[in-house]
């Protein structure tokens, strides 16, 4: 089965290269690191045994920052190497982690490519974030005695349906993994149904509950908010996708009718879309400024576009109300825990299935409001702007939900210690 899988991957290589090329037209970072994706990177400069950590993109990197920092502190005798798939994830690694922690792109899952990568890196242990299942990579790790820890694993409804069709291939992949740390009971059961050994699958919770909020973030947020003191109320739309921004701008125009001194902060999910969002804002006849302009906002500005990387948490902390994007349209939603942990009332659309359990917790504890469209979005933001007690109650409830579910990082660190 793995031979057939590898044959198909080899045939898809031209399409993968075309994808990198055309993605590079929007974000030139995609044009770098091609050799790394084929395993052509030397690690001869590394003189210590290696702990290898993989996180796909921005969300996964953000979630492992605390874990990586603690591993770095606890095990100075090891060299930490992080791989990502996307350039935005790579940029966040460079911004948020210690400079001694190295980075490269994860190579394509081709037999010769992953063999070359592992021979160069020689990791003692591989810590893979979330549901990354690579048959050739894991088989090569197994052959070389490299223990694989799959952490923070969740299996969405969509993924589970897809994986069930590949159960014969996945059963072998899962057998190559030393230990799987799943988020919930449901995730554990789904992994077992796909062929994982029940003795290897534990429940450790969700790392995203442990995302640290540093004093630097709070101080920077306070400084920004002080500069925006002319705005009586501020709401943020974080991690927005194509199609959503137009709806959000329409909602803000309605909000301005009731709260003319309010400001919308919008943070597009993908940096290559910053310019498009600015064009959309102009079309909606909303005056805007961008963070990269580094200019003071006047009361004539209705929108602040965050066109810089890695500052979403800061701008959540600046705001009175947070709408979490990817949920007004069917993109699956994004991390609602970031604003909730800051004590900011959360609004989400109806398409937050990627964070179903977390959304359910926040809804159950009256820390989140759901909206179907831009009309309801405008109504809920206006309601929260007008009701200080409701904002405070929702914010405190969200903070409590996050606090009560912390601890995944410590549980995973224990599992790592047992294997080192």
Full-model pTM? 0.84
**Residue 108 per-residue DSSP state:** P
pLDDT per position in the chain (420 positions), as tens?
788 899 999 999 999 999 999 888 888 889 999 999 999 999 999 999 999 999 999 889 989 999 999 999 999 999 999 999 999 999 999 998 999 999 999 999 999 999 999 999 999 999 999 989 999 999 999 999 999 999 999 998 888 989 998 888 899 999 999 999 999 999 999 999 999 999 999 999 999 999 888 889 999 999 999 999 888 999 999 999 999 999 999 999 999 999 999 999 999 998 889 999 999 999 999 999 999 988 778 878 999 999 998 899 999 999 999 999 999 999 999 999 999 999 999 999 999 988 888 999 999 999 999 999 999 999 999 999 999 999 999 999 999 999 999 999 999 999 999 988
153-154-159 Cα angle (round to 5):
125
231: alpha, beta or left? (left if phi > 0; alpha if psi -120 to 50): beta
The whole-number pLDDT of residue 259 equals 96
Beta strand residue intervals within 147-253, DSSP E: 147-153, 179-182, 201-203, 233-240
Active-site residue, 60 included: yes
Residues with Cβ within 8 Å of 1's Cβ and at least 6 positions away in sequence, in order, are: 168, 169, 172
Q: Among residues 60, 132, 311, 374, which one is catalytic?
A: 60
Domains along the chain? 2-206+406-419 (3.40.50.11720), 215-404 (3.40.50.2000)
Question: What pLDDT does residue 283 have?
Answer: 93
Between CA 190 and CA 204 the distance in angstroms is 15
pLDDT tens, position by position, 281-318: 999 999 999 999 887 788 789 999 999 988 999 999 99
Q: In what order do the strands lie in the sheet with 303-305?
A: 288-290, 303-305, 262-268, 233-240, 321-324, 346-348, 368-370
Residue 27 has what pLDDT?
84
Per-residue tokens: 17: 């290269």
Q: What is the rounded radius of gyration, in angstroms, for the C-alpha atoms of the chain?
A: 22
Closest CA to 117 of 36, 178, 20: 36
pLDDT tens, position by position, 42-64: 999 999 999 999 999 988 998 99
Cα distances (Å, whole numbers) of residue 355 to 88, 220, 270: 21, 28, 19
């Amino acid at each position: 089965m793995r031979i057939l899988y590898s044959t198909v991957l080899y045939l898809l290589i031209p399409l993968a290269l075309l994808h990198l090329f055309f993605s590079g037209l929007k974000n030139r970072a995609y044009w770098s690191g091609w050799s790394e994706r084929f395993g052509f990177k030397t690690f001869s400069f590394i003189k210590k045994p290696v702990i290898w950590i993989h996180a796909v993109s921005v969300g996964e990197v953000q979630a492992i920052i605390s874990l990586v920092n603690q591993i770095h502190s606890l095990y100075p005798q090891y060299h930490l190497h992080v791989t990502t798939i996307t350039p935005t994830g790579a940029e966040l690694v460079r911004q948020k982690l210690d400079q001694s922690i190295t980075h490269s792109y994860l190579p394509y899952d081709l037999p010769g490519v992953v063999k070359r990568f592992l021979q160069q890196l020689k990791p003692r242990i591989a810590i893979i974030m979330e549901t990354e299942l690579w048959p050739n990579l894991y088989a090569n790790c197994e052959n070389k005695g490299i223990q694989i820890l799959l952490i923070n694993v969740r299996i969405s409804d969509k993924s589970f349906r897809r994986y069930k069709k590949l159960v014969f291939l996945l059963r072998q992949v899962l057998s190559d993994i030393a230990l799987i740390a799943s988020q919930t009971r449901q995730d554990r059961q789904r992994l077992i149904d796909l062929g994982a050994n029940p003795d290897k699958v534990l429940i450790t919770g969700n790392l995203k509950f442990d995302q640290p909020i540093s004093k630097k973030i709070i101080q920077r947020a306070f400084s920004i908010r002080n500069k925006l003191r002319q705005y009586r109320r501020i709401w943020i739309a974080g991690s927005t996708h194509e199609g959503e921004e137009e709806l959000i701008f329409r909602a803000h125009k309605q909000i301005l009718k009731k709260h003319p001194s309010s400001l919308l902060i919008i943070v597009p999910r993908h940096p290559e879309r910053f310019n498009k969002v600015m064009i959309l804002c102009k079309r909606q006849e909303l005056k805007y400024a961008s963070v990269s302009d580094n200019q003071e906002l006047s009361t004539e500005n209705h929108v602040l576009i965050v066109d810089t990387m890695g500052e979403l948490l800061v701008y959540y902390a600046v705001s009175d109300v947070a709408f979490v994007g990817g949920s007004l349209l069917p993109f699956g939603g994004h991390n609602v825990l970031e604003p909730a942990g800051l004590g900011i009332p959360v609004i989400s659309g109806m398409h937050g299935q990627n964070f179903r359990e977390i959304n359910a917790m926040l809804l159950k504890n009256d820390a989140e409001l759901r909206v179907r469209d831009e009309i309801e979005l405008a109504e809920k933001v206006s309601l929260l702007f007008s009701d200080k007690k409701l904002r405070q109650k929702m914010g405190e409830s969200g903070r409590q939900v996050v606090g009560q579910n912390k601890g995944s990082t410590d549980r995973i660190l224990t599992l790592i210690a047992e294997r080192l």
